[in-house]
Structure 1
């Protein structure tokens, strides 16, 4: 994973409607960039719904929420519609951004080793520098942890 203080790799990925979205589009704003394994699975759904529930609070703090997974734009569209997700979901089927951010890693599940997305979140400042890196986050508390961090630092950057 990348560390705090590192320049965040810029990227352009399609959103749920196939429109290209670049990290650099959000210069001047903080970006909560969270990586998750798969649309509509239990943990990923809880995590996404927690970000959706806190969406207005993130907007009040001038922060943009972006979720990234390998899923297709069509999968993201269904996931967003089904759960009322108001934030961007970006599709990275080629693993370009997942690898650039170091979240595509070897995982073990029930003794089986495979490659997959390690649920991780980055907070990127308005200058495009990683302010906080959070590896192996918990889906139920991730949104609130980031929100608490942003509230604590409301006045300064």
Structure 2
């Protein structure tokens, strides 16, 4: 898992339209919150995405762009995004899952997909990193909120 205070990884993801998305694309403009869903079929993860949608105005006011990363392929991600009317960009990996790219997959009798989040400030530094094997623990709302509030106090 990534460490708070370290530079954001130079990963290339893909949105549901097939466009390349780099976390560095937002550097200098916005902070970026990436929520990594365990899967689009995970009911707990879907509730977490709904919370992000409810908090959308608050996040926009804090100049935070939300991205949702899913382990499924682009077609499945696009179908889920349309069905659920997700207003955020939904990202997939090109050669591996977004989760694997940042260390959110654990090996336990094969592979166990984790969920979690990272908040990257506008300078490309990770200000919050959290992951968990249990989806109920994968969304650290309080930690995300505190990290976003701290962005406003940085000079």
Is there any run of 5+ residues in structure 2 with no aligned partner, and where?
A: none
Task: From the superposition, tell whether residues 81 and 41 of structure 1 become closer, same or farther in structure 2 (CA, over 3 Å).
Answer: same
SS at match of 1:10: coil
Aligned length: 152
User: What residue is the counterpart of 1:40 in the other structure?
Assistant: 41
1:96 is displaced (CA, Å) by 5.7
User: What residue is the counterpart of 2:10 in the other structure?
Assistant: 10
Distance 1:41 1:97 in 2: 17
Contact 2:128–2:147 (8 Å) recurs in 1: no
User: What residue is the counterpart of 1:110 in the other structure?
Assistant: none
User: What residue is the counterpart of 1:151 in the other structure?
Assistant: 149
1:59 is displaced (CA, Å) by 1.0
- TM-score, with normalisation over the residues of structure 2? 0.84
- Residue deviations 1:110-156 (CA, integer Å, cap 9, x gap): xxx33132111111111111111112274695446423541354342
Distance 1:147 1:86 in 2: 20
- Residue deviations 1:79-114 (CA, integer Å, cap 9, x gap): 11222211111112632642331101124xxxxx33
- Residue deviations 1:61-85 (CA, integer Å, cap 9, x gap): 1001111122112211121122221
User: What residue is the counterpart of 1:59 in the other structure?
Assistant: 60
Deviation above 4 Å: which 4+ runs of structure 1?
none
Distance 2:143 2:4 in 1: 16
RMSD of aligned alpha carbons: 2.3
Corresponding position: 1:83 with 2:81: no
